[in-house]
Structure 1
Amino acid sequence: MTGVRQVVTRSPDRRVGFASCPWFRSDPIEYESLLERDFVRLALLDLQISSISEQPFVLDLGELGAYTPDFLLKGPSLKTVVEVKPKVFADNRRNASRLKRAGELLRQEGYRFMVATEEYIHADKRHVRAGILLRHARSHLSVEVTARVIAVASGFPHGIQITKLAFTAGVPKSTVLHLVARRQLRIAPSFILDDSELVYPIGGCDGHLHA
């Protein structure tokens, strides 16, 4: 493995940009396609993930050339390299052999390797709901309001309905969604935002929130 290359490169065939998430890391996360952007949105809401690195290294595949993965995800018990690619391209002859070889080499180094296609990223349109949640993260709350909502949620380790939490804490629903997006409360990985859906304090007793 060798060092990182520049990430965002302009192209008329791709949508490139930055995901600003100062509550997660100081510099924006760079992406080179809309599919990558949607994957980043999911990753930002996964509490198993504490670090996201774009194009973290170059891997020598031998006769198959050099390979630069899209993302490296890390957490307390997580070290996963991710390739984000439309299924039609992931499955073609050239890419399939390269990705298979990359997976073999990465597993030898102790990494999990994942090819994330639109079938995974766009399943049940949860990427859309993730985007809605992350828009709420852009607002700002006082320390007092945050502490009050979290204190109420802490009394319900098995979950409390979104609207019940908002009513009990005396805040709008958007405040609850802000705290979910900022990783200060949890929600099931489907990211369904109906009023009756449950949210959980960090460290609650549900045991099945994140795949």
Structure 2
Amino acid sequence: MSRNKRSLPDELNAKGSIKPARKVVHRSPHRSVGILACSWIQDHGIEYESQLERRFLQQTLVLPSIKRVIYQPFRLEYVEDERSLTYVPDFYLLFRDGTKVVIEVKPRKFLQKHLHKLTEAQRLLEEHETPFLVLTEKEIDHGIKVSNASYLLRFARDSPNEQAKQRCLRILSAFPKGLRIDELTKEAAVSEKDILHLVGRAGLSVDLSKPITKSTCVRIPKEHQNGYLHFIDWFNSAPGHAIAGISKSSK
């Protein structure tokens, strides 16, 4: 792999929009492509090229620790069978505390085919102190979190109601353990839609591992000291775990 740091994501901290490192395929009979809008996080939408990537993004965008998401952020050079090749990771995530991670979203059935490329990417990024994570349908589609995230994003895209937000925060500040959605609507004189909007934009938090109902408990979000650690805990993952898993199974 190239040792040239200019190809690594450190320079992605610069302000402004960044074009993908390769042309995004917008029309294909084999891919589901689109753009997810997230104006409360950044001023441009995030492209995806598969439904698995879309489901990953939906969960990522409701996390309170996320600051920025860049699709296909840079190229890495590597050698395989004496051929010089390039690899473009799927996502680069920057968290509010300054931590970061590079993400590859890949169906498990394709891991073996791309094992060398992913292993080389992990090695180079680790040398530059940039975590690399491979997520498959096992991590992304686990439990009810993906459907909850999709549901909340419908409300997150609504226009904000600053007065409703301030009333909710004021009431919840007196209830460290939180209130049920139906209780908060009465106490703060807001609608359920207002509450779900705030949860979708990470202004309030709920337990996304359970179905969202009127009895769901709502709290003021906790400050996460390490956004990256919160992220891998959310996806029940660890750096290189998918690569290590496929490596062992191939022996």
Same fold by TM-score greater than 0.5 = yes
- Deviation string 1:63-98 (CA, Å, 9 cap, x unpaired) is 3721100000111142110001111112x2x31221
Give percent identity, aligned residues only. 35
> One-letter code of the match for 1:68?
V
Q: State the partner residue of 1:156.
A: 175
Q: Classify the secondary structure of the residue corresponding to 1:186.
A: coil
| 2:40 is aligned with 1:23 | yes
- What does residue 202 of structure 1 align with? 221
1:83 aligns with 2:104: yes
Q: Could you give the per-residue CA deviations for residues 96-138 of structure 1, whole angstroms, max 9, x where no partner exists?
A: 2211111111111111111111111110132111100100112
Task: Give the aligned length.
Answer: 207
Q: Identify which of structures 1 and 2 has the higher relative contact order when contacts are C-alpha pairs closer than 8 Å and 6+ apart.
A: 2
2:103 aligned partner, one-letter code: V
Over 6 Å off, 4+ runs: none
Does residue 74 (structure 1) correspond to residue 88 (structure 2)? The answer is: no
Q: Matches of 2:25 and 2:184 in 1, distance apart?
A: 40
TM norm structure 1: 0.89
Structure 1 residue ranges without an equivalent (≥5): none
Q: Distance in 1 between matches of 2:77 and 2:42?
A: 29
Question: In 1, Cα distance between the equivalents of 2:25 and 2:148?
Answer: 25
Q: Sort the Cα spacing of 1:204 and 1:115 in 2 relative to 1 into closer, same or farther, 3 A.
A: closer
CA deviations 1:137-157 (Å, max 9, x no partner) are: 122243222211222122223
Q: Which residue of 2 aligns with 1:102?
A: 121
When normalised by structure 2's length, the TM-score is: 0.75
Letter in 2 for 1:164: E
Q: Which of 186, 199, 220 is the equivalent residue of 1:180?
A: 199
Contact 2:181-2:214 at 8 Å conserved across structures: yes
Q: Say if 1:7 and 1:54, in contact at 8 Å, map to a contact too.
A: no
Are 2:144 and 2:210, in contact at CA under 8 Å, matched by a contact in 1? no
Distance 1:204 1:102, change over 3 A: closer
**Alignment check: 8 A CA contact 2:26 2:34 kept:** no
What is the Cα-based RMSD across aligned positions, in Å? 2.2
Who is 1:57 aligned against? 74
Query: 5+ unaligned residues in a row in structure 2: which ranges?
Result: 1-6, 9-19, 234-251
Aligned to 2:51: 34
